[in-house]
């Protein structure tokens, strides 16, 4: 049990609540798309809805686990220097760097295999997805746009889940991916405020290190305003009903809330903004969006 707990802590498994709910939105958008257009997908039909959703969940778990473990492996020397991160599993000696790398490789392989059993397009795109999410770990070494690369990685969730069901690209999951991109990039900037001085001293790149806390928060605010605009636009574009709008209200409220409790002179509530506010936003929004989809679709 302690062995499992160590690796769950290594990959911050609880943070799965950020992207997983949007993957579920993409999945049910795909199911609704097939139903409304009276289409069939041989792979989805042969797998069935239970197996299909299970495979999507496994893909999300394996991909995110690979990305987080690789990030911890690559950054273990940096983390050891930072008092905030020195307690992490590799710097503290709970897990060796080599074992973290083995774990990364295993998760990558399991992700590819799982995609293979979904459909061909997911299998082929799995290699591109892995490149993006693993490449993120290098970006803090050469660009302050690292937050945006993280946003791109997580934004693949709704598109990937939609492809798992339909095998085709459509605009709606792309719009939800834009939400994830702007939302994640924005709250990652907030999280990075904690390491502004450390990043400067160690030649690491981030928007707070480049621009300072005040301007970094402004950029985060702009990204979250764009997020709110896209959330509203989707509601009208997709002709969603009451459940969606309740979810949208909660989601947007949580965006404003996290900015109300974090300011350049007081970072004591960054973790509340990062984990609590965004966790509530993601879970509540996804549940209500999926409820809206299901209430208007006979599956």
Both structure tokens of 265: 């002179």
Nearest C-alpha neighbor of 231 from the set 183, 198, 265: 183
Domain at 2-295, CATH class:
mainly alpha
Distances in Å between the Cα of 205 and the Cα atoms of 58, 167, 194, 270 are: 32, 38, 13, 20
Q: And the tokens for 14?
A: 């609880």
Secondary structure element (H or E) that encloses residue 292, with its range: helix 278-295
Residue 299, pLDDT score = 47
**Domain ranges across the chain:** 2-295
The residue-averaged pLDDT of 73-81 equals 95
Taking the model in full, what pTM does it have? 0.94
Contacts of residues 254-262 at CB distance under 8 Å and 24 or more positions apart, as own/partner, are: 254/278, 254/280, 254/281, 255/183, 255/186, 255/224, 255/227, 255/228, 255/281, 258/187, 258/190, 259/217, 259/220, 259/221, 259/224, 262/190, 262/193, 262/217
Q: What's the pLDDT tens digit per position in 242-278? A: 999 999 999 999 999 999 998 888 888 888 777 788 8
Query: pLDDT digit string (tens) for 103-136?
Result: 999 999 999 999 999 999 999 999 999 999 999 9
pLDDT(3) > 90:
no
Residue 271 to residues 67, 155, 157, 294: CA-CA distances in angstroms? 21, 22, 24, 34
Output the pLDDT for position 275: 78
């Amino acid at each position: 049990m302690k062995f499992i707990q160590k690796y769950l802590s290594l990959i911050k498994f609880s943070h799965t609540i950020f992207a997983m709910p949007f993957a579920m939105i993409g999945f049910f958008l795909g199911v609704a798309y097939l139903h409304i257009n009276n289409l069939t997908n041989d792979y989805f039909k042969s797998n069935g809805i239970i197996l299909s959703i299970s495979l999507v969940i496994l893909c999300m778990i394996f991909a995110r686990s690979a990305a987080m473990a690789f990030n911890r492996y690559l950054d273990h020397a940096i983390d050891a220097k930072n008092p905030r991160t020195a307690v992490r599993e590799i710097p503290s000696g709970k897990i060796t760097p080599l074992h973290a790398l083995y774990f990364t490789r295993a998760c990558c392989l399991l992700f590819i295999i799982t995609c293979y059993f979904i459909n061909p397009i997911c299998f082929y795109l799995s290699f591109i997805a892995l490149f993006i999410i693993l490449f993120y770990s290098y970006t803090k070494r050469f660009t302050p746009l690292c937050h945006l690369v993280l946003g791109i990685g997580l934004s693949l969730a709704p598109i990937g889940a939609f492809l798992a069901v339909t095998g085709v690209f459509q605009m709606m999951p792309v719009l939800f991916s834009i939400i994830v991109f702007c939302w994640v990039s924005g709250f990652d900037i907030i999280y990075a405020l904690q390491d502004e001085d450390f990043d400067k001293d160690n030649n690491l790149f981030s928007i707070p290190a480049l621009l300072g806390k005040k301007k970094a928060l402004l950029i985060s605010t702009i990204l979250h305003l764009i997020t709110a605009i896209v959330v509203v636009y989707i509601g009208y574009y997709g002709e969603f009903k009451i459940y969606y709008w309740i979810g949208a209200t909660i989601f947007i409220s949580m965006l404003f809330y996290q900015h109300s409790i974090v300011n350049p002179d007081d970072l004591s509530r960054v973790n509340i903004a990062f984990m609590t506010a965004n966790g509530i936003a993601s879970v509540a929004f996804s549940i209500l969006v999926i409820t809206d989809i299901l209430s208007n679709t006979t599956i």
